[in-house]
Amino acid sequence: MRLMERIRTRMRVLFLSFAIIFVVSVFAGLGVGFFGTSMRRPISTASRGDYRTLVPGVTAVASIDGEEIDILTFDKRLQLLRQQMRDSTVISRDPFQQLKLLSDTVDDLFTEYTLIKYAREQNLGVSEGEVREEINRRLELAYPSQTTDEPSGSVLGELGRRFKSSTEREKALNEYVQTLGITLPMLKQEIRRELLNKKAIDHISDLEKAKKEADAQDRIMKVQAALEGGEDFGDLAEKYSDDTGSRDKGGLLEQMIPRGFFDAAFDAVVYDMSVGDVSDPIETEFGYQIVKLIDKKAAEGPDWEAAKPGLTERIRQQRGETYEPTHEELKTLYEEVKIQHITLQTIADRETYGRVYWMTFAADRRIYDPMILAWRAANTEPLCFPELQDTTMEQIARDSLLEAGADLSGLAEKAYDFQRVKLLRYQRAYGDPPVELRPRFAEFNLEYDKEIDRTKPPEYPELDELYPLAAGLVKQAIKLNDAIANYHYSLAAVYDDWLDSSKAREMFPIDVEAARVEMESELKRCLELYKFDGFYYALAGKNYAEWVKPDRAREKLAQAEKYAPGDIDLLKILTGAYRLNGDDEKADEFQLAILEEQRRRGEQQGGWVKGD
């Protein structure tokens, strides 16, 4: 039985490793959102048929350009991400912060749908033969082939040995999909989407590479013409080179560089040059280089002869005491050059992924799940807020404990800034959006064709967490389903963050006493629904400590301690709460526990760096 469980685990890992594309900053261990039981543990709500959203009548989690991302698609991707990350030791177990995974899942699917749409527009397709080939590749990984006719002694190996005939292939395939808990059509559909995504990326990459190649050739002609006209090599490097590290120094690499520093094509040309020579364009794996040789340590003369014994010893330390190195091996270790260079890159990864992201951002993206929207509102992520019929963003925010008469006129503008700053960050990272997409970003007032000074930190509009909107959205979720503990915890967590931020309280005045009372009520409801989450007790204890109810705080914190070992996020809450409660010895105890857990994780990862 244990052997079969190990096989099932391996099958799932093999499947997951290929099934997920464009996963961004994922976390796992999820028990939140609309994907929970009446207590806490996640199940697929797709089978329950009770999924409801912020927009009446809409049962999709989100949509992009009018194409809905239904609950089945979303839940399937969510479960894949959760399964893939289930063994992570660095994920947050805080129920509200785990909503990040739902948000990332939506963004992941937005990108995938964008690529699928692009593939259709470009008439890209996936044949049955390509799907079959990918299935064969996965089966080979799952059931490695055996070269002997003797029994292998393991179930996986035995299946691999029997995998030669068509009949045995079909049997192995059936066992494979059964182990994954899916059907063959589901597997084929997943593979088809994955291959189509890859083809879309490859197609975009080919287009971007062609542009880079044309640009490089244009600059090569200009550089060569300028050199023939007597212009200074350093001036041309400053004007044309893509190497930001040496461009401002006239293309000079200040250190001597050994063979192998660049690739073989570079070495084959440069080490045969004489000092003062300028090379023709050298095509390398990254593009082209035009090189001027400044200095050279060649394998000749008395210094070379004197260096040979030491070089021989260095090689023998790696290859064995009796090894006799060749002349070329010694030469490779000895020779160095100093150069100026003009680098003209043709690698288009940045441009490829930049185009994919801009295409995704240009699409009409809408999120209907109130819990995902709540997390994004509290974490300054673009909301992708849907159109509402019976209410508004401001009315939802006023459903929180915001003081009566508080000014919310700037709420929509602050939400707008979430998207604008995201676009500015991607513009800095990936360059301007393609010209044909720029009209879609007209409202964000982006500046194009502007030189970026990367020596200075970027200046972006300051973003403010929209806690009233986050609280109002969680309340909307509770109205739709009161029986999920993490909804109630999330509402308390939003209020806690709101109360902890003096800036937020000034911007969005909140009735502090009412918030403490409501937090107490929401956390009591959590524990009625589910009694086995340390974060519920910890936040309740922190609330009582802030409320100056020390005995009740200690009672809840003591219960939270049972769940604390190994959980840095929970240990941090306990440390802060005990400190607030005046229990400094307990706070110090948990501070030491945090350091010990950080040390343990550091050792697991091969090195310990103290941090928070």
pLDDT in tens, 181-192: 778 998 898 899
For 72-86, 143-157, 549-563, which range has the lowest pLDDT when averaged over its residues? 143-157
Query: What angle separates helix 370-378 from helix 467-480, to the nearest 10 degrees?
Result: 160
Structure-derived torsion over alpha carbons of residues 179, 182, 185, 190, reported in degrees to the nearest 10 = -100
pLDDT in tens, 519-542: 999 999 999 999 999 999 999 999
Longest Cα separation, the chain: 89
Q: What's the pLDDT score for residue 88? A: 56
- For 262, 565, 573, 583, the CA distances from 590, given in Å and listed in that order, are 50, 10, 9, 11
Whether pLDDT at 144 is above 80: no
Distance CA 165, CA 157 (A): 15
Q: What's the pLDDT score for residue 607? A: 53
Handedness of CA 337, 342, 345, 350 (dihedral sign): positive
Among left, alpha and beta (phi > 0; psi -120 to 50; other), residue 250 is left
Instruction: Assess contact for 336 and 258: CB atoms under 8 A.
Output: yes
Domains and CATH numbers, the chain: 2-198 (no CATH), 213-348 (3.10.50.40), 352-604 (1.25.40.10)
DSSP assignment of 376-427: HHHTT----PPP-SS--HHHHHHTSSBPTT---TTHHHHHHHHHHHHHHHHH
Identity at 419, one-letter amino acid code: Q
pLDDT in tens, 297-306: 999 999 999 9
Distance CA 253, CA 247 (A): 10
Q: How many residues does the chain have?
A: 612
Whether pLDDT at 320 is above 60: yes
Q: What's the pLDDT score for residue 173? A: 87
Distance CA 559, CA 589 (A): 16
Q: What's the pLDDT score for residue 183? A: 86
